[in-house]
Amino acid sequence: MEARIFPARELFRILRDVARDWTDELLDKWTDVRPRQEMEPYQVTARISRIGLHIARGQEEAFGRFGLNRGEVGVLGALRIAGPKQQLSPTRLFKGLMLSSAGITSRLDRLERRGLVKRRRHPDDRRGVLVELTDAGREVLDQAVRANTGREKELIATLTKQERKVLAGLLKKLLGGLEPTTGDGDA
C-alpha cells in the first residue's frame, strides 16, 4: 500500500513547485463565465492537447527530413513490427491505424510509388493483397525513428525517471478507458 501513496505524495511535491502555465491562464478566464468545477477536466485535457501539438510538430519536422509524414511513418512502423515477413493486409493496416479504407489506400499509393512498400497477392486468398515493407522502406523508417527519438527524449527531459513512470501509468489508465484492448497486438 505504501507504494501507491508514495507517487501521490511525490506528485504533490512536484506540483507545488510548478509555475502557472498557459492552460492555467486560459482556464482562469473561462471560470469568469463558467463554473470552475465544470472547467476542471480541462486541467488535464487541454494540457494533453497542447502536448500532442508539440509532439506532432516535432515528429513532422523529424520525419519530414526523410520525406515522410506522421501518417506514412505509422504505416511503415506497423509493417516493421508485423513479424518476420513485415507484411499486413490493407484491412489490418487501416483498422490498426484507425483510418478509412480510402485513407490507407492513398498512403499506400504514395509509399509504393517511392518504393518503400510493395503490394503483392495474398498467397492463400486470390482476392487478397498483402502490403510488405521493402528494404528501402525499412531503412528510411529506421533513420526517421532514430532522428525523432532524440526529440522525444528532449520533450520529457524535465521529468525524472519516477515522474515519467507515474505519468506513463496515468496516461495508460486514461487511454485504457477510451480504447478497448484487443489482446492480439493489432492496435
Count of Cβ atoms closer than 10 Å to residue 140 Cβ = 22
What are the tens digits of pLDDT across the range 110-154?
999 999 999 998 888 878 899 999 999 999 999 999 999 999 999
Q: Which residues make Cβ contacts (< 8 Å) with residue 122, sequence separation at least 6? A: 89, 128, 129, 130
- Is the confidence at residue 187, as pLDDT, over 70? no
Q: What is the pLDDT of residue 182?
A: 64
C-alpha dist (Å) from residue 72 to 54, 94, 107, 116: 19, 12, 6, 10
Q: How confident is the model at residue 185 (pLDDT cuts 50, 70, 90)?
A: very low
**Higher-pLDDT residue of 176, 9:** 176
- Report the pLDDT value the prediction gives residue 1, as an integer from 0 to 100: 45
pLDDT at 104 over 60: yes
Confidence of residue 23 (pLDDT cuts 50, 70, 90): confident
Number of Cβ atoms within 10 Å of the Cβ of 55 = 15
155 or 179, greater pLDDT: 155
Categorize the per-residue pLDDT at 91 as very low, low, confident or very high, splitting at 50, 70 and 90: confident
For 151, list phi and psi in degrees, rounded to 5.
-65, -40
Which phi and psi angles does 53 have, rounded to 5°?
Answer: -65, -40
132 - beta bridge partners?
A: 87, 118
Instruction: Report, as an integer, the average pLDDT of 8-37.
Output: 74
Identify any residues that bridge with 131 across adjacent strands, giving them in sequence order.
88, 119
What's the rounded mean pLDDT across residues 9-14? 61
Between these two residues, 177 and 99, which has the higher pLDDT value? Answer: 177
Query: pLDDT tens-digit profile of 25-79?
Result: 888 888 888 887 888 888 888 889 999 999 999 999 999 999 999 999 999 999 9
On the question of pLDDT at 180 being above 70, the answer is yes
